[in-house]
Amino acid sequence: MATVAVLGAGNGGLAAAADLTLRGHTVRLFSRTPAPLDPVREAGGITLEGAAGSGLAVTELLTTDLAAAVSGADLVMLVVPATALAPYAALLAPHLTAGQPVFLNPGGTGGALALHAALRAEGFRGELRIAEVSTLTYACRTCGPAAVRISNVAPRLPFAAFPGRAAAQLHELVAPLYPAVRRCGSVLETGLANLNAVEHPPQILLNTGWVEHTRGDFYFYYEGTTPSVGRVIDAVDRERLALAAALGAPAVRFVDAFRDAGYTTPEAAATGSTYIAMQHSAANRWFRSPPSLDHRYVHEDVGHGLVPWTEWARLAGVPTPVMDGLVTLAGAATGRDYRRDGLTAARMGLAGIGTGGIVRFLDAGPAEVAVR
């Protein structure tokens, strides 16, 4: 059994802490603020229900002290939005030890690259071994101040590491925790398998009026994915697949990955229609919409999903007009500059690296400095 530092106490962090604890692992749950942890202390643990089982999970530690959470941990697991990776790098840099395994659950698009670059920028000089999966291991929502419900545990998840030479060791460590992980060739492959970036920007941006008028009082995936919205998601997916082909990274259609992750039926996926796949998504059926555009479905899935894809596309010479349009629309709707503030090539450590040098870079990493 492993000692795991779970960093982040939102939906995913609570689900991971409860699930791993109830499966016999030693879990330390960290939050940057005490507010998410206080109800758990008062309740005596996290109540888990749903697809991963049920019970009261009493973790070894609930803490806002990051040093206490990560010291000696077999695995440091970040269950945080992609937008939080840079702040977490600043927090982690003084406490992470050389070679200590880090796992991004999820990594989204370019997460391992971004965290690696941010830790170096914060002055960390030790060996870095960072693994990621393409999307969160659970479909989950909190159902009370100290309770979480898991509606689906992904049965198959793309897994990769940066630098790539660490992938085998990290997979050996993570697989007992999450047997669904399947090794990929590189973090390009996991980054291109980010389902959230395919679906969420069209879903929320094309439903802006409904989101704001009802303050999220509708079923986001089921009612919000109409035939027209589904066609835009399919168009984003075609651009993603073209980018993957140009980069030499294996990729499957969104509907097939959605099926493989346990979110829709084989029959619905076989139609090739995202609209139909969403209509048959039992795991997502009852999830309500965000109440506004001030949400990770925009800030994360545009700025740290679509933006890095379009940055990779520029490196590869692949046109992405639908993705670019959604980035522009998101900026106009929110007043934010996602091109400036999102996950750029420079923030992933890829500035100046052409497509010919990417493979070597992904395997070996940047030129490493002496281990502190």
Q: Is the pLDDT of residue 197 over 60?
A: yes
Kindly report the CATH number assigned to the domain that includes residue 14.
3.40.50.720
Mean pLDDT (whole number) for 108-128: 95
Residue 7 forms beta bridges with which residues? 30, 78
Assigned domain for 183 exists: yes
Assigned domain for 368 exists: no
Q: What's the DSSP call for residue 273?
A: -
Residues 185 and 210 reside in one and the same domain? no
Mean pLDDT (whole number) for 233-257: 96
Q: What's the DSSP call for residue 345?
A: T
User: For residues 105, 312, 254 and 193, what is the CA-based torsion angle, rounded to 10 degrees?
Assistant: -20
Confidence of residue 233 (pLDDT cuts 50, 70, 90): very high
pLDDT in tens, 141-155: 999 999 999 998 988
CB 81 within 8 A of CB 296: yes
Residues 93 and 224 reside in one and the same domain? no
**Which two three-digit tokens encode residue 6?**
């779970």
Secondary structure E strands in 51-206: 55-57, 61-63, 75-78, 101-104, 129-133, 138-144, 147-153, 157-162, 181-183
Residues 176 and 218 reside in one and the same domain? no
User: What is the model's pLDDT at position 188?
Assistant: 93
**CB-based contacts of 282: which residues, under 8 Å, 6+ apart?**
none
Choosing from 139, 169, 191, the residue where a domain stops is 191
Residues 145 and 204 reside in one and the same domain? no
Mean pLDDT (whole number) for 228-251: 96
Confidence of residue 369 (pLDDT cuts 50, 70, 90): very low
Query: Residue written as tokens 């660490």?
Result: 166
User: What is the model's pLDDT at position 325?
Assistant: 98
Assigned domain for 165 exists: yes
- SS3 call for 214: helix
Alpha-carbon gap, residue 177 to 90, rounded angstroms: 27
Q: Is position 256 annotated as part of the catalytic site? A: no
Assigned domain for 332 exists: yes
**CB-based contacts of 10: which residues, under 8 Å, 6+ apart?**
36, 79, 80, 142
- Which run of H or of E encompasses 240? helix 227-247
- Which run of H or of E encompasses 188? helix 187-191
Strand pairing class (101-104; 75-78)? parallel
Residues 170 and 244 reside in one and the same domain? no
Assigned domain for 367 exists: no
Choosing from 191, 221, 255, the residue where a domain stops is 191
Residues 163 and 205 reside in one and the same domain? no
Active-site annotation holder among 25, 200, 280, 299:
200
Query: Structurally, how many domains does the chain consist of?
Result: 2
Mean pLDDT (whole number) for 107-123: 95
Q: Is the pLDDT of residue 190 over 90?
A: yes
Residues 210 and 162 reside in one and the same domain? no
User: What is the model's pLDDT at position 204?
Assistant: 98
User: What is the model's pLDDT at position 353?
Assistant: 79
Assigned domain for 32 exists: yes
The size of the chain, in residues, is 372
Alpha-carbon gap, residue 344 to 98, rounded angstroms: 27
Q: Is the pLDDT of residue 347 over 80?
A: yes
Choosing from 126, 160, 191, the residue where a domain stops is 191
Residues 224 and 143 reside in one and the same domain? no
Supply the mean pLDDT for the chain. Answer: 94
Residues 78 and 133 reside in one and the same domain? yes
Q: Is the pLDDT of residue 371 over 70?
A: no
User: What is the model's pLDDT at position 357?
Assistant: 77
**Which two three-digit tokens encode residue 253?**
């259609």
Assigned domain for 334 exists: yes
- Nearest-CA neighbor of 75 among 182, 152, 9, 172? 172
Alpha-carbon gap, residue 205 to 228, rounded angstroms: 13
Q: Is position 234 annotated as part of the catalytic site? A: no
CB 60 within 8 A of CB 46: no
Alpha-carbon gap, residue 345 to 358, rounded angstroms: 12
Going from the C-alpha of 297 to that of each of 102, 104, 223, 302, 304, the distances in angstroms are 24, 18, 16, 7, 10
Residue 79 identity: V
Kindly report the CATH number assigned to the domain that includes residue 308.
1.10.1040.10
Residues 239 and 286 reside in one and the same domain? yes
Assigned domain for 358 exists: no
CB 108 within 8 A of CB 93: no
Active-site annotation holder among 19, 237, 260, 301:
301
Confidence of residue 367 (pLDDT cuts 50, 70, 90): low
Residues 257 and 164 reside in one and the same domain? no
Residues 125 and 207 reside in one and the same domain? no
Residue 313 domain boundaries: 195-353
